[in-house]
């Protein structure tokens, strides 16, 4: 069979993750206007799979006042890229060297006395006063100081502030059920948070700003907005409540597509790929797509997740393999080199990341942060361009 290139056609495109920076900026502006107060844009996990530095520049172009990341390596990468915006990093294990963070004017969070001690050690070594956030566990039972440990942490932080080694600039927590706005844990966590804040205020930490609201709370829980909000996934146009992001004026920024590598006609009753988990019901065309679970396409998507091919959404036929999967495109005129779309904004008939999440029983957060591997990433739009 003659290849498309030898037939004089355009060669197949590469698998790509296309990121719309203007969409990220516009989403940021929508959320900033919604809350009417400062916004910390969370760009951790490589900008939720959209690219750390380009995403950071895009949210700043959209009006973000602050940036948030999980680990210090992310914070230092932003500083190395020339981004000078106020920046918080919050996830640190024992033995973390905070000196580079303090030197780079990165704010850090602690949730235990030993963490505070390590920050104080770095402050003494560098001669710089650490800008510090204290994290209270209000019921998520993940990171954060428990109500039992909080008084001692606050007292130690107040002493360190009096000694000029730290300035406590933030008091914060994280919610367990913000994506279920009527859940009773919300009021319970707010109550525990305000008790923690009152204790800190009583210890003299009177200038620290309060932040609690993640993406879901930024959209649905105005009572949790406090001094500033801290959205993440919503910046990238995904609804943290699992619905239609356009209801809030948001647009998904990521489109994932790949070329068809091969097509073939097969008869009815043909088993497809490993284990013949899919068997054709009639004579049909199979299209081979050269991405798989090594590229972040979930193996669980086999026979379940939809892909736009030949003008229609079609479920993956059989198992997702390490490097490839197959589509049954029927009699559609799909050829090698044609583009298929795994997910995108949805306005051109393609599936959305939410559809994929529903199909494979996960959340869109996981899909956009795990996709990668041999996909190339390409940016469109000019927001934050250097």
Give the residue numbers marked as catalytic. Answer: 44, 274
DSSP annotation of 87 reads E
124 Rama class: left (phi>0) / alpha (psi -120 to 50) / beta: alpha
β partners of residue 378 = 18
Q: How close are the terminal C-alpha atoms of the chain, in Å?
A: 46
Dihedral (C-alpha) 137, 141, 145, 146: value to the nearest 10 degrees?
Answer: 90
Whats the size of the chain, residue-wise?
386
Contact criterion met (CB below 8 Å) for 193 and 9: no
Contact criterion met (CB below 8 Å) for 149 and 136: no
Contact criterion met (CB below 8 Å) for 28 and 49: no
What is the DSSP track for 217-241?
A: HHHH-GGG-SSBB---GGGGT--TT
Contact criterion met (CB below 8 Å) for 305 and 298: yes
- Three-state secondary structure readout of 166-190: EEEEEEECCCCCCCCCCCHHHHHHH
- What is the distance between the alpha carbons of residues 339 and 144, in angstroms, rounded to a whole number? 46
Q: Of all helices (H) and strands (E), which one includes residue 347?
A: none
């Amino acid at each position: 069979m003659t290849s498309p290139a030898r037939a004089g056609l355009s060669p197949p495109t590469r698998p790509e993750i296309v990121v719309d920076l203007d969409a990220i900026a516009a989403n940021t502006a929508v959320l900033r206007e919604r809350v009417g107060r400062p916004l910390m844009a969370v760009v951790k996990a490589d900008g939720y799979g959209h690219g750390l530095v380009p995403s950071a520049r895009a949210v700043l172009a959209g009006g973000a006042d602050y940036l948030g990341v999980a680990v210090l390596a992310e914070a230092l990468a932003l500083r190395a890229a020339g981004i000078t915006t106020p920046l918080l990093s919050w996830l640190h294990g024992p033995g973390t060297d905070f000196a580079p963070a303090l030197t780079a004017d990165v704010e850090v969070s602690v949730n235990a006395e030993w963490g505070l001690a390590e920050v104080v050690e770095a402050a003494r070594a560098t001669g710089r006063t650490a800008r510090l956030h204290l994290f209270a566990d209000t019921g998520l039972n993940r990171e954060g100081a428990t109500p039992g440990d909080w008084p001692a942490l606050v007292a130690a932080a107040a002493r360190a502030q009096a000694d000029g080694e730290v300035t406590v600039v933030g008091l914060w927590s994280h919610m367990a059920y913000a994506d279920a706005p009527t859940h009773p844990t919300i009021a319970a966590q707010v109550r525990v948070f305000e008790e923690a804040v009152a204790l800190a205020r009583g210890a003299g930490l009177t200038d620290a700003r309060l932040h609690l609201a993640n993406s879901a709370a930024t959209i649905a829980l105005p009572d949790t907005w406090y001094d500033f909000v801290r959205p993440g996934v919503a910046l990238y146009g995904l609804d943290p409540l699992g619905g239609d992001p356009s209801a809030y004026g948001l647009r998904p920024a990521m489109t994932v597509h790949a070329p068809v590598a091969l097509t073939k006609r097969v008869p009815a009753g043909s088993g497809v790929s490993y284990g013949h988990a899919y068997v054709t019901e009639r004579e049909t065309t199979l299209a081979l797509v050269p991405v798989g679970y090594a590229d972040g396409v979930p193996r669980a998507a086999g026979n379940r997740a939809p892909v736009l091919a030949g003008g229609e959404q079609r479920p993956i036929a059989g198992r997702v393999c390490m490097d490839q999967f197959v589509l049954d495109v029927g009699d559609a005129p799909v050829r090698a080199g044609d583009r298929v779309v795994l997910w995108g904004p949805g306005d051109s008939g393609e599936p959305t990341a939410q559809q994929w999440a529903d199909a494979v029983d996960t959340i869109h957060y996981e899909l956009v942060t795990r996709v990668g591997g041999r996909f190339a990433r390409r940016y469109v739009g000019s927001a934050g361009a250097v």
